[in-house]
Amino acid sequence: MLRYKMAHVAKGLFETYRKSLYVVVPFTTCVGFSSGLIEIFTSETKVSPLQVFTDIIGYTTLGSLTGVTYPLTFPVILKTVISN
């Protein structure tokens, strides 16, 4: 009986995770892309085209990965923000 309840809860959590991916991943990807642009435009030195490309790709990839793993990364980010 307990095993059935745990499986039911796990299935419900997975469905919630799967449904919310459509909102979270595009949002975190856009935040990552925006962070890359801000990093480029606030740089004190001249930025090469290669650095622009790597910054945009790198920040966007980190944003996407943060969105896919958000059940783990959001609490860690929240704890870091609160503790600093």
The answer to whether residue 84 scores a pLDDT higher than 80 is yes
Using CA atoms, how far residue 33 sits from 55, 68, 84, in Å, is 9, 15, 24
pLDDT digits (tens, 9 = 90+) for 14-40: 898 989 999 999 999 999 999 999 999
Percent of the chain beyond pLDDT 70? 98
- Predicted confidence at residue 51, as pLDDT, reads 92
Using CA atoms, how far residue 16 sits from 29, 47, 76, in Å, is 20, 42, 20
Q: How confident is the model at residue 2 (pLDDT cuts 50, 70, 90)?
A: low
The answer to whether residue 56 scores a pLDDT higher than 70 is yes
Element (H, E) at 47: none
Task: Number of helices (H) and strands (E) in the chain: give both, helices first.
Answer: 3, 0
